[in-house]
């Protein structure tokens, strides 16, 4: 059982440690006291070796020593993680990068990175004998949770902000979740979900306050290390909303470094939207985070009150990284170019990582000789409206070859 490898839960604010139980935050620090799961790495190193890994199935449970779930329980059968990495040379040329890799996490079961956390979430709910699992989400975490709740046969209740895109709501309903649309923004949905979980005894999948779920997100970093081995890029770019995704990816890479799987650590590039960049502002000012009313087309990173900003900022500091903001226009252009030049269709929040790389190269933050990897965190079909906006319109004609010929010539296609 992998759970035996955990040594403690450590508060990211005061450093206090606790035994690995079902508490979510530090007793001394309250909700600000997010906990981080720590492992006995000497024990982990005994069985998590390249030789052992080579014999395990290609899904994210392959790193079981570093995932805090009870592996004696029945795992959901869905293929999670071990998503492909592509060398995108034409996209690299567009971005001005020496070498640019894409890790396509839109290929997970519900088409987003969040499946890594939701799969851990449902396993913890089963372990704690919860009868229902709930979450508040801007979209992807919700559809992912609904998907994994369906996979293990657990009822789910999902709180979404009123403006969540329709395809994401459709996913929730298809998987059989009870969907509560909360008027206002994400923060209202988040608070209501917290209250409801307390009142009804539901398992709360909200990553921000759940130390175990970010461990699922970590598997993306474990994979980056295993897949790149001695080719680890100089930079890894991830879009930033709440902060726990990039914190998870960084933790995974750091753990694999600690275990000797990689010799080099990348610098983490966090990318926020200009209309919602509280973490970038906090990082650059060195002050406490100031919540904002976010406005951006990249709905999955539109998080004005990020709960995990401390973990994210630690990731930038530890990796000698940086967090920048890009405009919606840059995000939409990156979405379009990533699809056309690397054939990976990312949603705006996913493509923001590519927009960030282009901007960082243009400003000299990333050198033209450096290698980079962008994590595409969600599939473009999640936000079809955004795709259509950037992609142009089809050519409508009569069913007539001469009409076709005329239109094609007009556009220089033939
Ligand atoms: Zn504390």
Q: State residue 185's pLDDT score.
A: 77
Task: Report the predicted TM-score, pTM, of the whole model to 2 decimal places.
Answer: 0.93
Instruction: Tell me, in angstroms, the distance from the centre of ligand 1 to residue 289's CA.
Output: 17
Of 113, 147, 144, 185, nearest to 352 by C-alpha is 113
Cα 205 to averaged position of ligand 1 atoms, centre (Å):
21
Compute the distance from residue 405 Cα to the ligand 1 centre, in Å: 70
**pLDDT value of position 138:** 63
Question: 16 C-alpha to center of ligand 1: Å?
Answer: 6
30 Cα: distance to centroid of ligand 1 (angstroms): 7
26 CA to middle of ligand 1, Å?
5
**Max CA separation in the chain (angstroms):** 77
Provide DSSP, 140-175.
Answer: HHHHHHHHHHHHHT--EEEEEETT--HHHHHHHHHT
Cα(212) to ligand 1 centroid in Å equals 17
Residue 177 contacts residue 171 (beta carbons within 8 Å)? no
Q: Which helix (H) or strand (E) holds 191?
A: helix 186-200
Residue 358 CA, ligand 1 centroid: distance in Å: 38
DSSP 8-state class, residue 112: B
106 phi, psi to nearest 5 deg: -70, -5
Q: How high is the pLDDT of residue 3? A: 66
HEC profile of 242-275: CCHHHHHHHHHHHHHHHCCCCCCCCEEEEEEECC
Strands 99-104 and 85-87 come out as antiparallel
- The number of helix segments (H) and strand segments (E) in the chain equals 15, 14
Give the separation between CA 220 and CA 318, rounded to whole angstroms. Answer: 18
CA–centroid distance, 22 to ligand 1, in Å, is 16
For residue 243, the CA-to-ligand 1 centroid distance in Å is: 19
Residues 6+ apart with CB under 8 A from 89: 99, 100
Structural element, H or E, at residue 340: helix 328-342
The Cα 168–Cα 222 span in angstroms is 28
Residue 15 alpha carbon to ligand 1 centre in Å: 6
Kindly give the confidence (pLDDT) of every residue in the chain, 414 residues in length, as a single tens digit, with 9 standing for 90 and above: 456 799 999 998 999 999 988 788 899 998 888 899 999 999 999 999 999 999 999 999 999 999 999 999 999 999 999 999 999 999 999 999 999 999 999 999 999 999 999 999 999 999 989 999 999 876 788 889 999 999 999 999 999 888 877 777 888 999 999 999 999 877 788 899 999 999 999 998 876 677 888 899 999 999 999 999 999 999 999 999 989 999 999 999 999 999 999 999 999 999 999 999 999 999 999 999 999 999 999 988 988 989 889 999 999 999 999 999 999 999 999 999 999 999 999 999 999 999 999 999 999 999 999 999 999 999 999 888 888 888 888 999 999 999 999 999 999 999
* C-alpha 38 – ligand 1 centre gap (Å): 15
118 CA from centroid of ligand 1 (Å):
26
Is 209 in contact with 348 (CB distance < 8 Å)?
no
Ligand 1 centroid to residue 28 C-alpha, Å:
5
| Dist. CA 34 → ligand 1 center (Å) | 8
Q: How far is the CA of 102 from the centre of ligand 1 (A)?
A: 37
Q: What is the pLDDT of residues 342-357, one digit of tens each?
A: 999 999 999 999 999 9
3-state class (DSSP) for residue 299: helix
For 146-156, the pLDDT digits (tens) are: 999 999 999 99
User: Which residues have CB less than 5 Å away from ligand 1 (the ion)?
Assistant: 11, 13-14, 16, 26, 28-29, 33
Question: What's the pLDDT at 126?
Answer: 94
Long-range Cβ contacts of 264-267 (<8 Å, 24+ apart): 264/230, 264/232, 265/232, 265/319, 266/232, 266/233, 266/234, 266/235, 266/236, 266/319, 266/373, 267/234, 267/235, 267/236, 267/319, 267/320, 267/321, 267/322
In this prediction, residue 1 carries a pLDDT of: 46
């Amino acid at each position: 059982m992998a759970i035996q490898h955990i040594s403690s839960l450590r508060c990211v604010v005061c450093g206090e440690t606790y035994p690995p139980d079902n508490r979510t935050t530090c007793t001394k620090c309250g909700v600000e006291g997010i906990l981080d799961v720590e492992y006995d790495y000497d024990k982990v190193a005994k069985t998590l070796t390249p030789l052992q890994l080579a014999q395990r199935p290609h899904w994210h449970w392959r790193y079981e020593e570093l995932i805090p779930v009870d592996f004696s329980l029945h795992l959901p059968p869905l293929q999670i993680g071990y998503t492909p990495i592509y060398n995108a040379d034409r996209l690299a040329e567009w971005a001005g990068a020496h070498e640019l890799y894409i890790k396509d996490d839109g290929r997970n079961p519900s088409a987003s990175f969040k499946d890594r956390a939701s799969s851990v979430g449902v396993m913890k709910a089963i372990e704690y004998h919860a009868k229902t699992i709930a979450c508040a989400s801007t979209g992807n975490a919700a559809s992912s949770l609904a998907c994994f709740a369906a996979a293990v046969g657990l009822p789910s209740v999902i709180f979404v902000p009123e403006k969540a895109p329709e395809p994401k709501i459709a996913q929730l309903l298809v998987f059989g979740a009870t969907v509560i649309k909360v008027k206002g923004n994400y923060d209202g949905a988040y608070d209501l979900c917290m209250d409801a979980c307390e009142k009804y005894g539901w398992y709360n999948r909200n990553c921000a306050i759940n130390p175990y779920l970010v461990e699922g997100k970590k598997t993306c970093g474990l994979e980056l290390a295993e897949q790149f081995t001695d080719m680890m890029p100089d930079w890894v770019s991830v879009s930033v909303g709440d902060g726990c995704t990039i914190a998870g990816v960084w933790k995974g890479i750091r753990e694999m470094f600690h275990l000797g799987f990689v010799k080099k650590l990348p610098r983490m590039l966090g990318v926020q939207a200009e209309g919602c960049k509280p973490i970038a502002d906090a990082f650059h000012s060195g002050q406490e985070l100031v919540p904002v009313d976010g406005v951006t087309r990249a709905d999955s990173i539109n998080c004005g009150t990020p709960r995990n900003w401390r973990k994210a900022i630690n990731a930038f500091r530890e990796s000698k990284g940086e967090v920048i903001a890009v405009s919606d226009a840059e995000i939409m252009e990156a979405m379009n170019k990533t699809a056309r030049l690397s054939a990976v269709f990312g949603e705006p929040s996913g493509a923001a990582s590519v927009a960030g790389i282009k901007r960082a190269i243009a400003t000299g933050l990333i050198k033209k000789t450096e290698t980079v990897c962008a994590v595409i965190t969600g599939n473009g079909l999640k936000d079809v409206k955004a795709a259509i906006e950037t992609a142009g319109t089809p050519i409508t004609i009569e069913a007539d070859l001469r009409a076709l010929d005329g239109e094609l010539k007009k556009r220089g296609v033939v």
